[in-house]
Amino acid sequence: MFDEAAKMALDAYRSFLPTLFIVSETKLSDMSEVPATAYNCSEINNIAITVERAAGEKCLRCWNWSVSVGKQETYPDLCHRCCEVLTV
């Protein structure tokens, strides 16, 4: 795993990481779980990055991919986050 300070920083902002990196979702894993094809960051020890297509369907409002698209009765083409925004 990366050093304790980096782990604490990433954990503190875990819910914000997809917004920060402009991706649909992020996952923090132990280095032992990282595939050999991952990009290893040379500036920060023990940080590796893999990019994969997120699961689910594309939300028509925010364009993020989410498994919650199609499960909202009121707005079936939207993700749960967008449905919450529209129903407030």
Q: What is the pLDDT of residues 52-66, one digit of tens each?
A: 888 999 999 999 999
Quick one: DSSP state of residue 77?
Answer: T
SS3 48: strand
For the chain, which residues make up each domain, given as ranges? 1-52, 55-88
Q: Does the predicted model carry a pTM greater than 0.95?
A: no
Do residues 86 and 72 lie in contact, with contact meaning Cβ atoms separated by under 8 Å?
no
Q: What is the pLDDT of residues 17-26, one digit of tens each?
A: 988 988 988 8
